[in-house]
Amino acid sequence: MLLTRTATISSSRPAHAPVASTPLVRVVDDEPSIQALFTRMGPLGGFAVECHTSAHDLLESLDDERPGCLVLDLVLPDRTGIELLMDLAARGCRLPVVFMSGMARVSEAVRALKLGSVDFIEKPFEPLEMLSTIERAIELDSRNRRAGSEHDQLERRFSALTPRENEVMEEIVQGAANKEVAAKLGLSPKTVEVHRANVMRKTQARSLAELVRMHVAVRA
């Protein structure tokens, strides 16, 4: 039974976390019983739940700025879950996706996983299993957002460099000495030293090795 053991589930998350900080799980499934189950699971798992009956309904109202994840049924009234996943990707949505289905073929499950979904869960499922999977998806979203924020910070630092500072940086991260950079760019060694100091200050790199790591990350 789908409701088995829901009463025994506890959560380590605060019971009354502020709405803005509470992850949102967007469920797309046209079965009222499944929607009701997720609505009951939300408080137990420490997340809010938003239910949609179709892909169109989700796409019309989707706001992926709020942390969380998506739980998609493989068979929807207006398209397949796989098609919806591809539509989301085309829109640039990076929310982690969990698939569920009671009639999926192995090939469909494999395709869903290859397209980047967190997991594929068969119906009927144990609520504990679904809660555990959702927790992994939310944690993945949190890590992705932190990484994205760090990348944005690096881009802002590197965008502050002047064209000449960028030229000097591109040479020094390749291991060129100041004199080599000066000769290649037609500058004096003293001028290269000034540009190099500006690069280190603006990027907040504490060493050449750290500058190289940051350069690789921001150019990735």
Tell me the two tokens of residue 22.
């509470």
C-alpha distances out from residue 115 to 65, 70, 149, Å:
22, 14, 24
Is 1 inside any structural domain? no
pLDDT in tens, 196-208: 999 999 999 989 8
Same domain for 182 and 122, yes or no, is no
| Mean pLDDT for the chain overall | 86
Same domain for 38 and 138, yes or no, is yes
Is 108 inside any structural domain? yes
Is 155 inside any structural domain? no
Same domain for 44 and 115, yes or no, is yes
Helix (H) or strand (E) holding 78: none
Is 106 inside any structural domain? yes
Same domain for 133 and 165, yes or no, is no
CA distance between the termini of the chain? 47
Same domain for 98 and 177, yes or no, is no
Same domain for 165 and 142, yes or no, is no
The CATH number given to whatever domain includes residue 172 is 1.10.10.10
Same domain for 129 and 62, yes or no, is yes
The CATH number given to whatever domain includes residue 99 is 3.40.50.2300
- Expressed as residue numbers, the domain containing 181 is 160-219
Helix (H) or strand (E) holding 56: helix 55-61
Same domain for 73 and 134, yes or no, is yes
Residue 2 pLDDT > 50, yes or no?
A: no
Q: Of 14 and 21, which is predicted with more confidence?
A: 21
Domain count, the chain: 2
In this prediction the pTM is 0.64
pLDDT in tens, 68-117: 999 999 999 999 999 999 999 888 898 999 999 887 677 788 888 878 78
pLDDT in tens, 21-72: 799 999 999 999 999 999 999 999 999 999 999 999 999 999 888 999 999 9
Same domain for 11 and 104, yes or no, is yes
Same domain for 94 and 168, yes or no, is no
Is 152 inside any structural domain? no
pLDDT in tens, 154-166: 888 899 999 999 9
